Structure 1
Amino acid sequence: MPLPASGPRTGLLIAVTVLGTLSLHVFVPALPAAATELAATPAVIQLTITMYLVGLGFGQLFYGPLSDRFGRRPMILAALVLFVAGAAGAALAPRVDGLIAARVVQALGACGGLVIGRAMVRDRSDGADATQSLARLTLAMSLAPALAPAVGAAVSVWLGWRAIFFLTAGAGAVLLVVVLALLPETNTARGVGQGVRSMFAGYGRLLRRRTFIAYTIGGASCTVSSYAFFTASPFLIVDVLHRPAVEIGFYYLLVALGFSIGSILAHRVAQRMDTRAAALAGCGISLAASLTLLLVDVTGHLNPASLVAPVVVFAIGGGLAAPNAVLGVMSADTRAVGSASSLYGCLQMSFGALCTLVVGLWHTATALPTAVVLCVSTALGLLALLLLLPRSPAAT
């Protein structure tokens, strides 16, 4: 049975959860400055984003089963220690390869909050209550990274890009102390099963469930695929559209506002739409927006407004789909909520890393790579939800 909603302190749980994506976005505006100082090409410096996503995805495979076995609290403490170490290493990295390696370590710590935060929410609630709780979490995860690029741009301009990592290391250290003092355990069934030894068998069972596959593809298609935009946009905005770097944070704030609107919609429709219908609606909105961006680019009408506006609408669809996808994923096997959260996170972030890699390698002076990635992703998500899920939300 889920725990009552008075379990972990909500604000602290949100802070720990958003740390991973906040640390991803805060560095994006500083990519050109870091590339200049470290004598790295755009493709190479973008690996600090791609490899962060790889670490963010790979690490999630382990946190869920370990938290199912040993509890949520000890694993989140270990994750924060790793995060602080990686952020400090990135701040002191003398070369780009050292920066990339430190970002991987930072990501391996940051992903703990993503997995365990979702699992703690699911520990406490289910059904429509879980959807609403996950929608609030998604809202926070979109608002916090919205501020991150603006902060990152300002810090990079005034204090240098390395100061970004000193700040994130300090934030992680503060959270470590507060979690140690205030965050209680929510997993009342810890110790059940064989733990890590049965991890891959459990993942195999999840991968055989149509519900898990459909919601994983549907959720990733209109959420982390947006990382293609975040990775390419600093160069599009500064080098192609010739706008000052300080504007990047403002544009990201608009995109995050879109995610927030979608999350609010998800919260409000939770009692009136089933999980499948809401996820389908979100994917449909995102697909229409990505097709609009593609049309804008191929007709030669690209400017800051026509670049950002479709991505904002894309984000609205993602904000609506995301909490419903997470609920669908973690309802696939209620005996392994942490493992489901882990595998979902791994596959989601791996997909995000693939999207950033594509736009990094397919580097043009247009928005075409970004638009194509968004279109293909959302089309796949919509097809997965339509073909793999039966109409009855209870069927698997």
Structure 2
Amino acid sequence: MLTLGALIALGPLSIDMYLPALPSIAKELLTTESTVQLTVSGTVLGLGLGQLLVGPLSDAVGRRVPLIAGTLIHVIASVLCLFAPTVELLAIARVVQGLGASAGAVLALAVVRDLYTDRAAATLLSRLILVMGVSPVLAPTLGSAVLQWTEWRGVFAVLGALGLAIALFALLWLPETLPRSRRQPLRWRATVRTYGGLLTDRSFVGLIVVAGLAMAGLFAFVAGGSFVFQVQFGLDQQQFGLMFGASAVWLIAATQLNARLMRRYEPYQVLVAASMFATASGAVLFVMAATATGGLFGIAVPLWAVLFFAGLMLPNAPAVALNAHGETAGTAASLLGAVQFGVGAAISPMVGVLGNNALGMSIVMFGGITLAMVVLLLVARPWQLTAVSGEPALAMAMH
């Protein structure tokens, strides 16, 4: 779990550690705030695209080799980011960085599914989603600490060193969890058919869209938070890092609570309830932003509530979605990850389009969470995936 946690953290850390420096990057590279935000979306896009390739590859050759190779690609891309002279080259290097980090993002889920199902899988995914959820909000705090003794390029030097250490850690400590007897030959036509089969599973598709929209709400906060809290509310880089750190507390609480809830409730039950409360919290956030009520904490408190309930949604949507696809866990997890990060990459720039302010951020977060609830209730309908015995009923899911 320590190894998987380190691997799955690499992507969020790569996305977010340099967020406190976004305004200064825009000035140094002579570009706009909206343009420099695209370097955030580039990494998210790379994470999504990479998972579509890594998942099927891992089903054929095992989990270890793609994980270690992807992490080393991330290290090379971090060096390119370190020396990028223009925002265009920085954006390209960030896409490659995301491609490398995608291995850990998707295969950590596949490793869990190799070993566990149902509530056990949801409990372990809660631990990993704790890392995935907390990393984006702690990363700016770490980035702020790095920026106290170096400029923004130094953040990428730290990321490169971190990736190299994680690759060594995985080489020494990560066992192979997919035996040869369960591997699927890498045939691209078969892979396309597998993706096609997954995309005909209405509940699976609904659940991965729900996971993507929940992630989009988190990425809207990640992409817009630096401008909202530093520009609109006047926090400096260190204060902004502390604000993001305070937000992490609520994600930590949610994921820890989820592990306890799994002792009494099914994952889909927690998922449905959390989506409803997240939507209600998003509505409060939107109203507070639209009316400019309460100042900084008028935004922060409902924002923390949204993050808390999103922290309950994020582990349970993948757990329910992957439960019926154990034989193609890598491919299914890759599609799940691609949709999560792809939707995040597509939606989070809307914060910049809407003005990089609290109202724009609240619109994107509220809209994403609300749409997630609608898709969950009308399309995914996860309660149909569980038979009376509590085992997955794939036949019901297909209808």
TM-score between the two structures when normalised by the length of structure 2: 0.93
| Distance of 2:192 and 2:352 partners within structure 1 | 32
Report the count of equivalent residues. Answer: 386
Aligned to 1:246, the other structure's residue is in SS state helix
- RMSD, aligned CA: 1.5
The residue that corresponds to 2:390 in the other structure is none
Q: State the Cα distance separating 1:251 from its structure 2 match.
A: 1.3
The residue that corresponds to 1:283 in the other structure is 275
**Partner deviation per Cα, 1:287-312 (whole Å, 9 max, x = no partner):** 11111111101212152211221111
Moved more, 304-313 or 181-190: 181-190
The residue that corresponds to 1:263 in the other structure is 255
Indicate yes or no: 2:135 matched with 1:144. yes
Equivalent of 2:232 in 223, 229, 240: 240
The residue that corresponds to 1:113 in the other structure is 104
1:1-396 superposed matches below 5 A: 10-188=1-179, 189-301=181-293, 303-363=295-355, 366-388=357-379, 389=381, 391-394=383-386, 395-396=396-397
Q: State the Cα distance separating 1:223 from its structure 2 match.
A: 2.9
| Distance of 2:189 and 2:161 partners within structure 1 | 35
Kept in 2, the 8 Å contact 1:232–1:370? The answer is yes
Q: Which amino acid aligns with 2:238?
A: V
Q: Which amino acid aligns with 2:363?
A: V
Aligned to 2:237, the other structure's residue is in SS state coil
The residue that corresponds to 2:392 in the other structure is none
Kept in 2, the 8 Å contact 1:80–1:173? The answer is yes
| Distance of 1:220 and 1:71 partners within structure 2 | 26
Q: State the Cα distance separating 1:194 from its structure 2 match.
A: 4.3
Kept in 2, the 8 Å contact 1:28–1:152? The answer is yes
Q: State the Cα distance separating 1:145 from its structure 2 match.
A: 3.4
| Distance of 1:139 and 1:274 partners within structure 2 | 19
| Distance of 1:191 and 1:291 partners within structure 2 | 46
Kept in 2, the 8 Å contact 1:67–1:190? The answer is no
Kept in 1, the 8 Å contact 2:118–2:323? The answer is no
Kept in 2, the 8 Å contact 1:287–1:374? The answer is no
Q: State the Cα distance separating 1:163 from its structure 2 match.
A: 0.5
TM-score between the two structures when normalised by the length of structure 1: 0.94
Change (3 A) 1:301 1:66: same
| Distance of 2:186 and 2:54 partners within structure 1 | 15
Kept in 2, the 8 Å contact 1:227–1:352? The answer is yes
Q: State the Cα distance separating 1:224 from its structure 2 match.
A: 3.2
| Distance of 2:155 and 2:163 partners within structure 1 | 12
| Distance of 1:222 and 1:157 partners within structure 2 | 33
Q: Which amino acid aligns with 2:196?
A: G
Q: State the Cα distance separating 1:199 from its structure 2 match.
A: 1.9
| Distance of 1:368 and 1:267 partners within structure 2 | 33
Q: Which amino acid aligns with 2:247?
A: V
Kept in 2, the 8 Å contact 1:206–1:332? The answer is no
| Distance of 1:115 and 1:315 partners within structure 2 | 22
Kept in 2, the 8 Å contact 1:216–1:347? The answer is yes
| Distance of 1:344 and 1:336 partners within structure 2 | 12
| Distance of 1:39 and 1:192 partners within structure 2 | 49
| Distance of 1:302 and 1:49 partners within structure 2 | 29
Q: State the Cα distance separating 1:15 from its structure 2 match.
A: 0.5
| Distance of 2:114 and 2:68 partners within structure 1 | 18
Q: State the Cα distance separating 1:193 from its structure 2 match.
A: 4.2
Moved more, 63-72 or 261-270: 261-270
| Distance of 2:127 and 2:204 partners within structure 1 | 22
Q: State the Cα distance separating 1:196 from its structure 2 match.
A: 3.4
| Distance of 2:346 and 2:28 partners within structure 1 | 26
Kept in 1, the 8 Å contact 2:182–2:327? The answer is no
Kept in 2, the 8 Å contact 1:83–1:172? The answer is yes
Q: State the Cα distance separating 1:191 from its structure 2 match.
A: 3.4
Kept in 2, the 8 Å contact 1:218–1:283? The answer is no
Q: State the Cα distance separating 1:273 from its structure 2 match.
A: 1.5
Q: State the Cα distance separating 1:167 from its structure 2 match.
A: 0.5
**Partner deviation per Cα, 1:119-159 (whole Å, 9 max, x = no partner):** 11111111111111101111122333333111112222420
| Distance of 1:317 and 1:196 partners within structure 2 | 38
Runs of 5+ unmatched residues, structure 2: 387-395
Q: Aligned residues: percent identity? A: 31
| Distance of 2:12 and 2:225 partners within structure 1 | 17
